[in-house]
């Protein structure tokens, strides 16, 4: 079992988003996506505030983070602006600078994610032997590859009935857990490429992810509806 004292919780973001510029700090309802993420994690009865880090570079983000009882890791310009890099060592440069064995990364782009689900994820990670954990949601759907070949197991049926399809799991892109030292070897979540961490199944609704402008607008409506 992992100790909560060995896990740091990191909210990392930047303003240099091309698809939805400055989405972290744009008005979202009567708040921002960045504020929502910080305030949500601070509601946890499991995660100690002293283990929470905000990893940001731009002054606008630093000004917001300084209003809360969280630690601040000042990202480098390279980390916050490295569009073409797939290097965990650059993106997660804090891996060898924070005094923890494990980390859990929270994406700010999932405003419908609840603190209850976050705490379940943390408890699962604490109690598993796996060194990596990744949030996903179940999909029972039909898929084809780029050549038009089915990649779905139809289980011998010739009619499209999703009740008969074996489930697959889609990335939720909101919660990631990893042993920190492996980042130094350019791995993330486990020492495989591509990574094969243990999967944590959550509700699809909570995984609503904001990448594009239409998702930002729809996300506001959904978030306000949930208040």
Name the residue with higher pLDDT: 108 or 227.
108
Q: Which residues pair with 200 in a beta bridge?
A: 135
Q: Is the pLDDT of residue 227 over 70?
A: no
Q: In this structure, is residue 154 part of a structural domain?
A: no
Q: In this structure, is residue 158 part of a structural domain?
A: no
Q: How far is CA 97 from CA 21, 75, 190, in A?
A: 29, 11, 19
Q: In this structure, is residue 68 part of a structural domain?
A: yes
Number of structural domains (the chain) is 1
- 8 A C-beta contact, residue 174 and residue 205: no
What's the pLDDT score for residue 22?
92
Work out the mean pLDDT of the chain and round it to a whole number: 94
Measured CA to CA, the distance from residue 20 to residue 2 in angstroms comes to: 37
Q: In this structure, is residue 63 part of a structural domain?
A: yes
Measured CA to CA, the distance from residue 56 to residue 102 in angstroms comes to: 19
Q: In this structure, is residue 160 part of a structural domain?
A: no
pLDDT digits (tens, 9 = 90+) for 162-216: 888 889 999 999 999 999 999 999 999 999 999 999 999 999 999 999 999 999 9
CATH of the domain at 15: 3.90.550.10
Q: In this structure, is residue 155 part of a structural domain?
A: no
Q: What domain range includes position 202? A: 4-135+170-226
Q: In this structure, is residue 153 part of a structural domain?
A: no
Measured CA to CA, the distance from residue 122 to residue 24 in angstroms comes to: 24
Q: In this structure, is residue 156 part of a structural domain?
A: no
pLDDT digits (tens, 9 = 90+) for 69-124: 999 999 999 999 865 567 899 999 999 999 999 999 999 999 999 999 999 999 99
């Amino acid at each position: 079992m992992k100790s909560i004292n060995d896990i740091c919780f990191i909210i990392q973001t930047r303003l240099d988003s091309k698809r939805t510029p400055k989405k972290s700090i744009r008005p979202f309802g009567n708040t921002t996506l960045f504020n929502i993420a910080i305030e949500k994690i601070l509601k946890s009865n499991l995660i100690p505030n002293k283990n929470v880090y905000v990893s940001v570079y731009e002054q606008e983000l630093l000004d917001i983070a300084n209003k809360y009882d969280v630690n601040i890791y000042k990202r480098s310009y390279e980390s916050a602006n490295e569009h073409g890099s797939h290097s965990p060592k650059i993106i997660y440069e804090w891996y060898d600078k924070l005094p923890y064995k494990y980390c859990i990364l929270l994406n700010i782009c999932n405003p419908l994610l609840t603190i209850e689900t976050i705490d379940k994820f943390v408890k699962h990670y604490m109690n598993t032997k796996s060194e990596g954990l990744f949030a996903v949601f179940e999909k029972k759907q039909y898929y084809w590859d780029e050549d038009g070949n089915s990649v779905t197991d139809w289980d011998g049926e010739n009619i499209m009935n999703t009740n008969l399809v074996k489930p697959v799991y889609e990335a939720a892109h909101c919660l990631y857990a990893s042993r920190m030292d492996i980042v130094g070897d350019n791995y993330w979540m486990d020492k495989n490429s591509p990574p094969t961490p243990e999967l944590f199944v959550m509700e699809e609704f909570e995984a609503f992810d904001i990448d594009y402008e239409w998702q930002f607008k729809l996300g506001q409506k959904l978030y306000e509806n949930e208040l």
